[in-house]
Amino acid sequence: MTAMTLSKIIDTAKEVLDIEAKAILRLKDSIGEDFDKAIDILYNCKGRVIVTGMGKSGIIGKKIAATMSSTGTPTYFLHPAESTHGDSGVITRNDVIIAISNSGETQELMNLLPLIKRFGCPLIGMTGNTNSTLGKTSDVTLDISVEKEADTLGKAPTSSTTATLAMGDALAVCLMEKKGFTKEDFLMFHPSGKLGKGLTYKVKDLMINGDRMPIVKDSVSFTEVLRTISDYKLGMAMITDSNGILSGVLTDGDIRRTIIKYGNTSELKVKDVMTINPKRITSDAYAASALNLMEKYSITALAVVDERNIPVGVIHVHDLLRAGVA
């Protein structure tokens, strides 16, 4: 055994990454009608998605199953060897099967195929050999073939498992988008994770309220509102009518546009230049919903109102960042 120099180690590591990166990019040529059909099958699944694979393919299959489960698709990993010793009882006629085999001829999977066909479950095959038994038996075949493995012997599952994992991620992400899976949905499956903890916050937990709210009446001058915005340092002020109902907001952007348009602003009233019907949110909404609104409309703060549309607080993107929501 020869010792590897530091430069040789670095060169080999970079080569591995290059080979695996190319393997992933090569998959783009496999994304087409079959992939779209696979998404439709998964989307219309009435039961669960059952992922199965042997050896390294099985390890990747477990990760794919975990990703799908955490993004709104009930998914279970079935070990193909154990399936012929009773575990196949988890399969129902409403399930969809994803079978993974680089060769497409893995014997343990071949033993499971008759049961899948007997139940009439749609079969999505992920294989590096589309002309294999798995490739020809599947209702949809996803080509995960690679030009070569990344190890020096060209034998160890490396770039092939990386490509399989990437294809599984593509399935999971497209499926969650097709289902309209949201951050709030993600919260239900990750209540203890960092993202989950951030998403448990409601707007009322993070909003600024009381005498810290920048509120002015719509009858005041434009200049007076400038002082309020400067004092409260939130980049905006909420404007209310004589009954205390939110009628508009004035933001830093509104100020710039007003000065450019009018030049002399000494005679202006805030109601003449404010943004009417501004975006708003209730205090009981999830903080993640506030973030979604901010991202969608490119704003940094939202008025928080009650059922009468009276301001009760302000939620700023900085508050969301500090709480780990963003």
- Over the stretch 295-323, which tens digit does the pLDDT of each residue have? 889 999 999 999 999 999 999 999 888 88
Say whether both 128 and 19 belong to one domain: yes
Calpha distance 246→237 (Å, rounded):
11
Whether residue 57 lies inside any domain: the answer is yes
Say whether both 316 and 267 belong to one domain: yes
Specify the pLDDT at position 118. Answer: 87
Specify the pLDDT at position 1. Answer: 47
User: How many domains does the chain divide into?
Assistant: 2
Calpha distance 66→68 (Å, rounded):
6
Phi, psi of 294, rounded to the nearest 5 degrees: -60, -45
Say whether both 77 and 167 belong to one domain: yes
Whether residue 8 lies inside any domain: the answer is no
Work out the average pLDDT over 249-277: 92
Say whether both 128 and 234 belong to one domain: no
b/e sequence 251-283, b meaning 16+ C-beta within 10 Å: beebbeebeeeeeebeeeebbebbbeebebbbb
Say whether both 55 and 148 belong to one domain: yes
Work out the average pLDDT over 112-122: 90
Cα separation values, 126 from 102, 158, 181, 262, Å? 7, 16, 24, 64
Q: What is the CATH number of the domain that holds 210?
A: 3.10.580.10
Whether residue 197 lies inside any domain: the answer is no
Query: pLDDT averaged over the chain?
Result: 89
Q: Is pLDDT of 54 > 80?
A: yes
Calpha distance 175→271 (Å, rounded):
46
Say whether both 168 and 269 belong to one domain: no
Phi, psi of 121, rounded to the nearest 5 degrees: -75, 135
Say whether both 225 and 292 belong to one domain: yes
Say whether both 134 and 242 belong to one domain: no
Specify the pLDDT at position 39. Answer: 96
Whether residue 215 lies inside any domain: the answer is yes
Say whether both 46 and 111 belong to one domain: yes
Q: Who has greater pLDDT, 89 or 48?
A: 48
Q: What is the CATH number of the domain that holds 106?
A: 3.40.50.10490
Calpha distance 37→41 (Å, rounded):
6
Say whether both 103 and 211 belong to one domain: no
Say whether both 37 and 155 belong to one domain: yes
The domain of 100 spans 13-181
The confidence band for 4, taking pLDDT boundaries of 50, 70 and 90, is confident
| Across 3-17, 62-76, 176-190, 211-225, least confident range | 176-190
Whether residue 145 lies inside any domain: the answer is yes
The confidence band for 181, taking pLDDT boundaries of 50, 70 and 90, is confident
Whether residue 194 lies inside any domain: the answer is no
Phi, psi of 315, rounded to the nearest 5 degrees: -115, 125
Residue 162: name the closest of 148, 172, 175, 173 by CA: 148
Whether residue 71 lies inside any domain: the answer is yes
List pLDDT tens digits, range 190-232: 555 555 556 678 999 999 999 999 999 999 999 999 999 999 9
Whether residue 163 lies inside any domain: the answer is yes
For the chain, what percent of residues have pLDDT higher than 70?
Answer: 91
List pLDDT tens digits, range 119-161: 899 999 999 999 999 999 999 999 999 999 998 888 889 999 9
Q: Is pLDDT of 175 > 70?
A: yes
Q: Do residues 106 and 94 touch, judged by C-beta distance below 8 A? A: no
Say whether both 165 and 208 belong to one domain: no
